[in-house]
Amino acid sequence: AAGGWGVRNVGQVTSGRTFEESMPAIRGLIDGLVDPVIRAERKMSMDRTFQMTKDSTIEIPDDLFTGGDDMFVGLGWTCRRKIDLDAAVIVGSSPDGGTALNVVNFSDRTFGRAVRHQGDNT
Interval 7-25: pLDDT, tens:
777 788 888 777 677 777 8
Interval 66-91: pLDDT, tens:
665 666 666 666 666 776 666 777 77
Most confident of 2-6, 8-12, 50-54, 59-63: 8-12
- Residue 25's pLDDT is 82
Query: Furthest-apart CA pair in the chain: how many Å?
Result: 55
Q: What is the pTM of this model?
A: 0.38
Domains of the chain by residue range: 1-44, 48-121
Q: Which residues of 69-78 are buried (b: 16+ CB within 10 A; e: fewer)?
A: eeeeeeeeee
Residue 98: DSSP 8-state: -
Q: Are strands 115-116 and 89-92 parallel, antiparallel or unpaired?
A: unpaired
For residues 95-101, average pLDDT: 63
